[in-house]
Amino acid sequence: MKSLLSEFIRQISRSFTFVVMDAERLKQHGVITLKPLTILVVTSAFLFVLFMAIQAVLLFTPLRDSLPGASSENMRSEARQNELRIQSMADSLALQEEYLQRLRDMILGNIQYVPSTAVDEELPVFEDGTTLADLELPDPSENWEDHVQPAMPIAQLNGAPSETLPAYNTGPSYLSSISFPVLPPVSGLLTRGFDARTGHYAIDIAVEEGSAVRSIGDGYVVLADWLNDGGQVIAIAHAGGFISVFKHNSSLLKQVGDRVRDREAVALTGNSGEITSGPHAHFELWHNGLAQDPRAYVLGW
């Protein structure tokens, strides 16, 4: 065989005739004429086509994931996409934190105008000739004593005695006023009361997880988002400067801007957030920037 191949290589351009015979009977079965150059060309073409077919199968079918280095490229691509997602989430969280801080300032009344010192900025002028810089705005206090009850005596509502707990009727005409006392937003056992000294401007009610949290009156949702300490939080602005806040919910049923009716379900109770000790409803009530003890405004508490 080795000598035959050597002869083929030395005379690759010549034709060779092979006689096929039966070794036992010495009978001729046929004659074959071959040219080594032709065999080499055909074999090379076959191997090239086979190689291209294998490459196509590996590159354009799921088998490409089995190639060395392919998984690494996919991992790098996913890592780049995850990095972009993380950066986008970080930007969103920064904007969310800024929004929530402004909302906290609005609820607590910590908003005051600081005049700009820019030379090219003109302040609006009122009809009497004064500007915003001329107004004497109050300097809101951050002391917890401001929220000691009664932060706003109920007797001041419409000048009526505190025993009657009247409706607050100075709100916008497109929102129905709240008629105090109201029905509880949830039914459960009171486990922690209002305590301004410790910064617990709310009451906690132990309830079964998934219970409906109902609005104490007509209003608009001004916050419906996740907070690290409060979990799923929803805040509703009512007529007369009241804002009700519910924290640690398992899910929210409304979003910012939604109008809610009295006794309409706005969330489901849960145990979300970092500062929580179990499934319960956390209920805050604010009026004109001051925290109120909800027990004075709700029946049965």
Query: What are the pLDDT digits (tens) for 119-171?
Result: 344 555 555 666 545 554 444 345 567 777 777 644 444 444 444 444 444 44
Q: How far is CA 92 from the centre of its chain?
A: 9
CATH architecture, domain 146-296: Distorted Sandwich (2.70)
List all residues 6 or more positions away from 123 whose beta carbon is below 8 Å from its beta carbon.
115, 116, 131, 132, 133
Query: What are the pLDDT digits (tens) for 77-136?
Result: 788 888 888 887 887 777 777 777 777 766 655 554 444 344 344 555 555 666 545 554
Note the pTM of the prediction, 2 decimals. Answer: 0.50
> Structure tokens of 66?
């089995």
CA distance 288 to 266: 22
pLDDT computed for residue 124 by the predictor: 54
CA distance 99 to 105: 10
Please check whether residue 146 is in contact with residue 290, taking contact to mean a CB–CB distance below 8 angstroms.
Answer: yes
Beta strands in 61-215 (DSSP E): 189-192, 203-206, 212-214
What mean pLDDT comes out for the span 2-10?
69
List all residues 6 or more positions away from 64 whose beta carbon is below 8 Å from its beta carbon.
58, 70
CA distance 264 to 254: 10
**What are the b/e assignments for 179-215, b being 16+ CB within 10 Å?**
ebbbebbbebeeeeebbbeeeebbbbbbbeeebbbbb
CA distance 287 to 146: 12
In the chain, CATH 2.70.70.10 sits at 146-296
Q: How far is CA 73 from the centre of its chain?
A: 29
pLDDT computed for residue 174 by the predictor: 66
pLDDT computed for residue 78 by the predictor: 81
